[in-house]
Structure 1
Amino acid sequence: MEQHVLHTLEYDKVIAMLSDQASSTLGKERARALVPYTTLEEAQLAQQATAEAAAVLRLKGSVPLGGIRDIRPCLQRARLGGMLSPQELLDIASTIHAGRRLKSFLLDLAEAHELPLLAGWAAQIDGLRPLEEAIKQCIDEHGEVVDDASVELRRIRQEARSLEARIRERLEQMTRSASYQKMLMENIITIRQDRYVIPVKQEYRHVFGGIVHDQSASGATLFIEPEAVVGLNNTLRETRLKEEREVERILLRLGAGVAEAGASLQTNLEMLGELDFAFAKAQLGISLRATIPRLNDRGYLRFKKARHPLIPQAEVVPIDVELGKTYRAIVITGPNTGGKTVSIKTIGLLSLMAMAGLPIPAEEDSEAAVFSSVFADIGDEQSIEQSLSTFSSHMTNIIHILNAMDERSLVIFDELGAGTDPAEGAALAMAILDHVVERGARLLATTHYSELKAYAYNRPEVVNASVEFDVTTLKPTYRLLVGVPGRSNAFAIARRLGLSEEIIAAARRAISEEDNQVESMIASLERNARTAEQKRREAEALRAEAEELRRQLEEERNRFAEEKNRLLEKAEEEARIAVQLAKEEAERIIRELRELQAEGAAIKEHQLIAAKKRLDEAVLDLDEEKVKKQKPKAGGAGQPKAGDEVMVHSFGQRGTVLEQTGEQEYLVQIGIMKMKVKQDELSVLKQAKAEPAVRYPAVKARVGNVKLELDLRGCRVEEGLQEVDRYLDEVLLAGLHTVSIIHGHGTGALRKAVHDFLRSHRNVKSFRLGGQGEGGVGVTIVELQ
């Protein structure tokens, strides 16, 4: 992409705004180096990074980018074996910590949200915690090497502090001495050239001996190191030199660690720069209220409510434009200062921004094209040095564009053909436009030549456009009207300013009839365009209102569905509890009857009646409705007889008819219980195959011996299966229909073998694991046919 074009379309100003959004020097450099991509894959990848960064900012509001430093010079010096300063090492530790914090932030967020690019960059950041800790253990936050950096440094500094204390003690003795005080200018101890001295009056210099290190401006005061502390000061100086050498050794050791981690640190810097740059693009989009456009390589662009990013948002007028599908060229005509140049620069600049992976200030669902190159000839580019006229300068640039463009280029011409004879300029402009369109490039052009107003009507690939002008206020509205050519407003403006109608009429007569018809046609087109725009706005408002109503109805429907589900869940929970209670009550009744049977006592009639009543009370209303539906219709199954298998609806259990005890009453065996049941509570499931007299004693004989459960715990698989086979035979002979097999938990082998056996048994109707209160998975409930 030519730098001249980027400057002409003010792309460099957008890049300056982008650079200001970056948090680090690395991000700012990456932003300043950004140029538009010319392949769809590169542009889409850049836009994806921007979209992911924008998603992170929407979710979290901010990103931890603080603490990143430009440590590249430090790394270079460390690789060469140079010594790094404490502050440089602190910058390295700060950058390591910032990278690890940003990595953790993004990878945690990527677990719940799709961030393939950002997470991929973050994953490449090396934590380098040992190096950071080594630096922070040796250097404090003020950039000073601490005593604990090494054992030797601690010893040296302790020795130095001890020497300083001894020196101060001797000098303080002198300053406090009455005989010395009159010889001193002040009773203080100070330092000159890293040695402790006292201020002595000039005339008493010989009293103290030692070394004179400085004197006052007047010469009346000498800063003397007394002979009594010269030796101690010398020792202290040597200790300080040892300290400096030890500090240098520590810094060199840390620098060697930095050099060893140089490759990882370099990778960290590259990834941090990319991440900072991505979030700078997203922040720019937020500040411009911009969106991420779709991209294509077909030369098609559609900007909805596009705004120039450098014009204040309160002042800019959005434009709608589409290019590259129905038509490949837009020719904007009309008078100067109407906003034509701003329109084409907006389209060109937004195209460059989209190609660079930046969000564009336009509404959602906008689409941009990735061009192989963008060319622009805009403004007065007269070259004094080359002694070129305005026309010559423009024509030189246009010739360069015509030679360099291809079918994937975007070409922008401002005031094409200006600066020469109008007739020749208009003809030349039309020829240039024809050449660009024939080459297949996309074209935006402005002109004030009236001859070009009819140009687009004769070419299906070219469309006219104009910038709206408000005759009432005598100001342009800057709204782009595609499909309507610009017209001269000179007569309307003159009339508004007070020019007489007689002069205006004379001027109008001077214009050819054909020109007047064209102006009338354009005025009609403008009126139609305004009417269509008004209708479009009204339709848009109605559509928005309909969308709002639809949204409200959808919310109401969702609320209704949620309430319905909540009520159903509540009803199901209440029913489940009620059924559980009824089930527990039935189990208690059966348990009591078993206990009576185990005690050997005969179950009396009144006990059965009482148990039946309690079972009736445990049945839910809903179950009663179900029972009613299951009752036989009159005359459906006929009269039960002894030996018939029947369903006792009041208990929901199967049983066997033993005998008829009354006109509408039968004695029925249900498991171990015998009870009298009315005929309307019975329905015949299976009629007896043998005489009742033969079957009844057999059932009666087995009932008292067969239990309702079989305990297999402790049995091997083979033994257990034999017990199950024998038990089922006894159960069938006893006329029982529901029994329990206790196999326990264990390894599950016995349970699996029992289930496989039951699955193949011809008399087993169904089986299931026990529920709550039935033994759970340690028990299998079997229902027999």
Structure 2
Amino acid sequence: MLYPKTLEQKLGFDKLREWLHEACISPLGQYYVEKIRFSDNFGMVEKLVSQTAEMKSILETGENFPSQNYIDATPYLKRAAIEGMLLTQSEFSDIKVSLQTIRLCLRFFENQEADSFPLLGEYAKSVRVEKPITDAIDRIIDDRGQIKDSASPELGRIRRQLISEQAGIRKKLDSILRAAKSSGWIGDDVSLTVRNGRMVIPIIAEHKRKLKGFIHDESATGQTVFIEPTDIFESNNEIRELEYEERREINRILLQLTSQLRPYVPDLQKAYQFLGLLDFLRAKARLAFEMQAINPVFENRQFIDWREARHPILHLSFQKAGKKVVPLTIELNEKRRILIVSGPNAGGKSVALKTVGLIQYMYQCGLLVPMREDSSIGFFQNIFIDIGDEQSLENDLSTYSSHLTNMRHFLTMANKRTLFLIDEFGTGTEPGLGGAIAEAILEDLTKSGAYGMINTHYTNLKVLADKTEGLVNGAMRFDGEHLEPIYQLEIGRPGSSFAFEIASKIGLPKAVVNRAKEKLGTQQVSFEKLLKELDIERRVFAEKNIELGIKERKLARELSDYTLLKSKLETNEKKIVNDAKQKAKTLLTDANQLIENTIREIKENKAEKEKTKTVRAQLEKFSKAELVPEELPVEDIYEPEEGAIAVGNYVRIIGQTAIGEVLSLKGKDAEIRIGDLKSNIKLNRLEKVSNKTYKAATGEKTVKTGAKGVDMNERMLNFSFNLDLRGKRGEEALGVVDQFMDNAIMLGYDELRIVHGKGDGILRTLVRNYLRGYAQVSGMYDEHADRGGAGVTIVKLR
């Protein structure tokens, strides 16, 4: 149960509903948004939220999940179910593309593991889109939503004959037009045009008698008339008759296709419900991304255990402004069910209250909620709120009477499964009486076992919360020294209203403030003073604890580093000593052997001087080889270059053999390319080298020459079959069309789309007449009315 009826508006959920409505692609999803309701069924809430979480996971993985053509075709299906009805060409086009989207969605879930998306995957298994009906539509409707020439043999014949007749008329008209121009009846810049669906020639009014034919129209000034020559009159009639035949054949084909569709209507209606649900879930998942929302642990019991919860609407608005919402951490359980929040005005009490109400409400409507991952959320069957001024002139209720009316409902209906929220409890009447009534009401609400949050300034309620089981005090933190709100909720102690301090800061005379303290009484003043001093001391000790914690972590880290370094040094020392001993042992063995050989040779040669010198020289060489380190290989010699390093120069990293090319300079850094690798390196670490050195080291040519050919891959990549000429003048437009046609013909396109706008039809006529000069153009016609109509020309190429 929800109370009052305006709860959704008071909490601000209506704004989230509007956001979701705009985020949906089609009316299918918007229908689900309008049906969002608070659920008091635990299983239903769990299912709705889990579906949203699954869709969020789908979008997070970056999979190619369909995001277009979520079209609502259900009205078409209702008409198709009626015998004898036919759907239009555009309606079948919508059905075609939307069924393609549905099939892509079903294929996505078919390709996933069974436990990846259990709820949506199971739902997808119940949806059927039969291949015969999609194949039947594909045979008739092409990808642009047009009826294919191959839809029936008769339609193909009619269209071929139509093209032939149009080509014949165009030749005759071109001949007549040239003759008229040579006779001076029309200007050289005049071209063929269309009036009443028939090809005509613009003739200067004074020469209209010189050309036999039917006058269809004249210009606004009357100086030009549009004549259909007698020679093509019959051909135009033939074309008109063929167009009627084409329309009749298309209607016959669509009627037959509608009859094929009719048996599948029930299955298709369910498929479109599935498509609408996916659209709706995509919107909810996108909202979750915007709010950084999650699906916390959900339990079928009454409690609140939220970490860093953020007000959803404030989070969205602050995010746009580049600001951050101060998060709310709150816990309500069986021992502390009702939180009494106190503190100064404008300290954030009302925002905290609405955060609790809105998050619980939106979760039980199936939305993910913005809070930290380690949070948990409970389940409530009732949410009651008393927020804002409910004064009613019609019912003759004052603000206080309205509050009491709400309290009567709370006391009557509240139970263990109820969450109630009361803002400014007991206000609106004489403080002494209001405080007493508020205390009595709070005692009964405590006995009901309900959970709730109450904002108040009454001291008697703070005292009651301190000594009553089930109640707990809380305060919105406030900087007592600087008299500024911190907007953080602290549970476990009451807060001061800081009324005297704020009054002094605003500038009330000191004598007035002192007199107010005297009137209040020493006991109340001492209580407020004690709360203020406790708040200041708590903040000081909290800062000291943070500093101490930082120092302890730093000390522990340094101790760990010291121990690790000491262990490494001891290990390295042992290794070095062992290596030295082994090397000395080997050296001693080799030296002894050499000495023995030397002595033997001296004895054998009876101490000949020359031989003795030779043996001694070998001994000295051995000594030097063992005692002097082996020389390192001489570094390759590079040919340096003078001057400052600039973009395009070749450089070497000093002390290394790597050579690269300078791509850009940024202050004291340079971006260089070494092979396929790019890197940023300080300029003082680089040495400029010659082109010869770079070529020798890398094998690359430093200068690339030669004519540049046509890169067909690049042209194909950058080419679009859609050309927009709106806003361009005639000569400029024809130049663009010329280049566009060259590329299209070169790349082998068979159909193009030129957007020129409607206006007076001048640009359209100019473009179409120009295109008729291309032998590769086989036909031109207006785009479908839903996609631009006469403002767009479709060009068919041979």
- TM-score tier by shorter-chain length is 0.5 to 0.7
Superposition pairs of residues 36-115 of structure 1, within 5 angstroms: 36-60=38-62, 63-80=65-82, 81-111=84-114, 113-115=115-117
Q: Does 1:137 align with 2:139?
A: yes
Cα offsets for 1:687-716 (capped at 9, x unmatched): xxxxxxxxxxxxxxxxxxxxxxxxxxxxxx
Superposition pairs of residues 178-189 of structure 1, within 5 angstroms: 181-183=183-185, 188-189=191-192
Q: Aligned match of 1:291 in 294, 302, 309?
A: 294
Q: Aligned match of 1:440 in 449, 456, 476?
A: 449
Q: Does 1:484 align with 2:493?
A: yes
Superposition pairs of residues 521-536 of structure 1, within 5 angstroms: 521-523=530-532, 526=535, 530=539
Q: Aligned match of 1:278 in 262, 276, 281?
A: 281
| Contact kept? 1:301, 1:367, Cα under 8 Å | yes
For residues 464 and 234 of structure 1, do their structure 2 counterparts lie closer, same or farther at Cα, with a shift above 3 Å needed? Answer: same
For residues 158 and 514 of structure 1, do their structure 2 counterparts lie closer, same or farther at Cα, with a shift above 3 Å needed? Answer: same
SS in 2 for 1:473: coil
Aligned equivalents of 2:130, 2:548: Cα separation in 1: 61
C-alpha displacement of 1:36: 2.1
C-alpha displacement of 1:350: 1.0
SS in 2 for 1:328: strand
Partner of 2:361: 352
Q: Does 1:409 align with 2:418?
A: yes
Cα offsets for 1:461-515 (capped at 9, x unmatched): 1111121111222211111121211213234445667889887666545443432
| Contact kept? 1:99, 1:125, Cα under 8 Å | no
C-alpha displacement of 1:337: 1.3
For residues 100 and 224 of structure 1, do their structure 2 counterparts lie closer, same or farther at Cα, with a shift above 3 Å needed? Answer: same
| Contact kept? 2:498, 2:532, Cα under 8 Å | no
Q: Does 1:120 align with 2:122?
A: yes
Partner of 1:260: 263
SS in 1 for 2:313: coil
The higher radius of gyration belongs to 1
C-alpha displacement of 1:344: 0.8
Aligned equivalents of 1:76, 1:280: Cα separation in 2: 27
Q: Does 1:361 align with 2:370?
A: yes
Partner of 2:243: 240
Aligned equivalents of 2:414, 2:275: Cα separation in 1: 37
- Number of residue equivalences: 551
Partner of 1:146: 148
Aligned equivalents of 1:217, 1:42: Cα separation in 2: 68
Aligned equivalents of 2:372, 2:557: Cα separation in 1: 19
For residues 527 and 203 of structure 1, do their structure 2 counterparts lie closer, same or farther at Cα, with a shift above 3 Å needed? Answer: closer
SS in 2 for 1:271: helix
SS in 2 for 1:302: strand
Aligned equivalents of 2:60, 2:175: Cα separation in 1: 70
Cα offsets for 1:729-755 (capped at 9, x unmatched): xxxxxxxxxxxxxxxxxxxxxxxxxxx
Partner of 1:175: 177
Q: Does 1:14 align with 2:23?
A: no
For residues 172 and 20 of structure 1, do their structure 2 counterparts lie closer, same or farther at Cα, with a shift above 3 Å needed? Answer: closer
Deviates more, 1:102-111 or 1:370-379: 102-111
SS in 1 for 2:312: coil
Work out the percentage of aligned pairs sharing the same amino acid. 34
Superposition pairs of residues 376-415 of structure 1, within 5 angstroms: 376-415=385-424
C-alpha displacement of 1:301: 1.2
Aligned equivalents of 2:30, 2:461: Cα separation in 1: 45
Partner of 2:226: 223
For residues 174 and 283 of structure 1, do their structure 2 counterparts lie closer, same or farther at Cα, with a shift above 3 Å needed? Answer: closer
Aligned equivalents of 1:336, 1:474: Cα separation in 2: 12
Cα offsets for 1:603-638 (capped at 9, x unmatched): xxxxxxxxxxxxxxxxxxxxxxxxxxxxxxxxxxxx
Q: Does 1:309 align with 2:312?
A: yes
Query: With structure 2 as the length reference, what TM-score do the two structures score?
Result: 0.63
For residues 99 and 532 of structure 1, do their structure 2 counterparts lie closer, same or farther at Cα, with a shift above 3 Å needed? Answer: farther
| Contact kept? 1:147, 1:157, Cα under 8 Å | yes
Q: Does 1:328 align with 2:333?
A: no
C-alpha displacement of 1:202: 4.4
Q: Which amino acid aligns with 1:14?
A: L
Q: Which amino acid aligns with 1:142?
A: R
Partner of 2:198: 195
Aligned equivalents of 1:548, 1:92: Cα separation in 2: 65
For residues 489 and 251 of structure 1, do their structure 2 counterparts lie closer, same or farther at Cα, with a shift above 3 Å needed? Answer: same
C-alpha displacement of 1:537: 6.1
Structure 1 spans left out of the alignment, 5+ residues: 553-785
For residues 497 and 176 of structure 1, do their structure 2 counterparts lie closer, same or farther at Cα, with a shift above 3 Å needed? Answer: closer
Q: Which amino acid aligns with 2:383?
A: V
Aligned equivalents of 2:339, 2:557: Cα separation in 1: 36
For residues 408 and 238 of structure 1, do their structure 2 counterparts lie closer, same or farther at Cα, with a shift above 3 Å needed? Answer: same
Query: With structure 1 as the length reference, what TM-score do the two structures score?
Result: 0.64
Q: Which amino acid aligns with 1:519?
A: E
Q: Which amino acid aligns with 2:476?
A: V
For residues 22 and 228 of structure 1, do their structure 2 counterparts lie closer, same or farther at Cα, with a shift above 3 Å needed? Answer: closer
Aligned equivalents of 1:547, 1:248: Cα separation in 2: 84
SS in 2 for 1:214: strand
For residues 125 and 181 of structure 1, do their structure 2 counterparts lie closer, same or farther at Cα, with a shift above 3 Å needed? Answer: farther
Aligned equivalents of 2:51, 2:411: Cα separation in 1: 35
C-alpha displacement of 1:328: 1.9
Aligned equivalents of 1:548, 1:53: Cα separation in 2: 42
For residues 248 and 39 of structure 1, do their structure 2 counterparts lie closer, same or farther at Cα, with a shift above 3 Å needed? Answer: same
C-alpha displacement of 1:242: 0.4
Cα offsets for 1:114-153 (capped at 9, x unmatched): 3210211222333444433433333334332232221101
| Contact kept? 1:185, 1:199, Cα under 8 Å | no
For residues 364 and 203 of structure 1, do their structure 2 counterparts lie closer, same or farther at Cα, with a shift above 3 Å needed? Answer: closer
Partner of 1:628: none
For residues 238 and 18 of structure 1, do their structure 2 counterparts lie closer, same or farther at Cα, with a shift above 3 Å needed? Answer: closer
Partner of 2:676: none
| Contact kept? 1:43, 1:370, Cα under 8 Å | no
Deviates more, 1:115-124 or 1:524-533: 524-533
Aligned equivalents of 1:205, 1:496: Cα separation in 2: 92
Superposition RMSD on alpha carbons, in Å? Answer: 3.4
Aligned equivalents of 1:536, 1:57: Cα separation in 2: 42
For residues 321 and 528 of structure 1, do their structure 2 counterparts lie closer, same or farther at Cα, with a shift above 3 Å needed? Answer: farther
Partner of 1:455: 464
Q: Does 1:29 align with 2:28?
A: no
SS in 1 for 2:331: strand
SS in 1 for 2:111: helix
Partner of 1:770: none
Aligned equivalents of 2:222, 2:236: Cα separation in 1: 24
Q: Aligned match of 1:160 in 149, 159, 162?
A: 162
Aligned equivalents of 2:273, 2:239: Cα separation in 1: 47
